[in-house]
């Protein structure tokens, strides 16, 4: 990791804002339907995942992965209502403001989840998500051009693809976003879950959500940028987007890609 970042603490890289975002919680005894209803408001925000609590203590997290993985395995009408959060939650990572930035990046690389909580002065917890870490690019001037970010395959879909195929492709390719072929429009887990809860009533009406054509979705749009803008400029652009995603000549860049680039020895 670049020397000017790796040894800094989380408090140093996010001065004044490290504990500014309260974590959003849900209880172990709540249902996956409860989580699905909350998540569209928080996915890809400063909070992103929901913190699962038991007796007011954090014991896990739940996000888009748990909801979508669950319905891929079981799309029955009562599945979301009958599944307790405690049965499907993932491991939570708790750090503190004195942890080094390198520790955060290493942990996220291992868990593939850009989400961490820290105890705050109010005897509660604050959240750090990928979007908050984009602030590092604003705080520290990073002049490396985004063209230096390693190219990755753009994962696409077509309008007549089934919802099941889209969700499965997200898991197969370890991505939360798929680009509509030949366009700058994309679908993500937030859009899928929002449709699941608002128009398919969390599967309660028995309709085949996964077997529906993907043209039911209203898509978001990646912002096309020049490949010679700096990583700092890219971070500023992404911070202002509802769903941060950039496109450069057939290449896409997510918040995750930016964050992993912070670990590069070539960063300037």
Pairing of strands 245-248, 223-224: parallel
Answer positive or negative: Cα dihedral of 113, 114, 118, 120. Answer: negative
Pairing of strands 156-157, 177-180: parallel
Burial class of 108 by CB neighbour count within 10 A (0 to 12, 13 to 18, 19+): buried
The model's pLDDT over 188-223, given as tens digits with 9 standing for 90+, comes to 999 999 999 999 999 999 999 999 999 999 999 999
d(CA 7, CA 199): 47
Give the architecture-level CATH label for domain 146-261.
Answer: Roll (3.10)
| Helices 163-172, 64-73: inter-axial angle, 10-degree rounding | 120
pLDDT of 157 > 90? The answer is yes
**Per-residue confidence at 158, pLDDT binned at 50, 70, 90?**
very high
**Per-residue confidence at 266, pLDDT binned at 50, 70, 90?**
low
The model's pLDDT over 69-127, given as tens digits with 9 standing for 90+, comes to 999 999 999 999 999 999 999 999 999 999 999 999 999 999 999 999 999 988 899 99
d(CA 129, CA 46): 6
**Per-residue confidence at 1, pLDDT binned at 50, 70, 90?**
very low
**Taking the CB of residue 90, how many other CB atoms lie within 10 A of it?**
16
**Domain locations in the chain as residue ranges:** 3-139, 146-261
Please give the pLDDT value at position 133: 94
| Same fold: 3-139 with 146-261 | yes
Contact 237, 225 (CB under 8 A): yes
234: three-class secondary structure by DSSP: helix
Average pLDDT over residues 172-192: 96
Average pLDDT over residues 126-147: 91
**Taking the CB of residue 150, how many other CB atoms lie within 10 A of it?**
9
| Ramachandran sector of residue 201 (left: φ over 0; alpha: ψ -120 to 50; beta: rest) | left
**Per-residue confidence at 267, pLDDT binned at 50, 70, 90?**
low
Please give the pLDDT value at position 162: 98
Average pLDDT over residues 26-45: 97
Angstrom distances, CA of residue 186 to CA of 106, 149, 165: 28, 20, 15
CATH topology of domain 3-139: CBS-domain (3.10.580)
């Amino acid at each position: 990791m670049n020397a000017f970042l790796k040894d800094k603490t989380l408090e140093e890289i996010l001065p004044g804002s490290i504990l500014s975002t309260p974590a959003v919680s849900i209880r172990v005894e709540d249902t996956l339907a409860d989580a699905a209803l909350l998540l569209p408001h928080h996915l890809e925000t400063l909070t992103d995942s929901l913190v699962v609590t038991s007796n007011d203590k954090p014991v896990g997290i739940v996000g888009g992965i748990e909801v979508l993985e669950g319905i891929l395995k079981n799309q029955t009408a009562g599945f979301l209502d009958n599944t307790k959060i405690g049965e499907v939650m993932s491991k939570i990572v708790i750090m503190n403001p004195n942890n080094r930035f390198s520790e955060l990046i290493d942990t996220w690389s291992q868990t593939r989840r850009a989400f961490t909580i820290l105890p705050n002065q109010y005897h509660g917890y604050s959240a750090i998500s990928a979007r908050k870490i984009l602030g590092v690019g604003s705080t520290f001037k990073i002049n490396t051009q985004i063209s230096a970010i390693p190219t990755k395959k753009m994962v696409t879909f077509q309008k007549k693809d089934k919802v099941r195929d889209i969700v499965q492709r997200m898991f197969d390719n370890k991505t939360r976003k798929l680009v509509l072929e030949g366009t700058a429009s994309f679908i993500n887990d937030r859009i899928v879950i929002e449709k699941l809860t608002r128009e398919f009533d969390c599967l309660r009406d028995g309709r085949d959500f996964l077997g529906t054509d993907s043209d039911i979705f209203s898509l978001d749009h990646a912002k096309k940028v020049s490949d010679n803008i700096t990583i700092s400029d890219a971070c500023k652009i992404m911070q202002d987007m509802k769903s941060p995603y950039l496109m450069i000549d057939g290449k896409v860049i997510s918040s995750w890609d930016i964050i992993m680039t912070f670990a590069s020895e070539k960063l300037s």
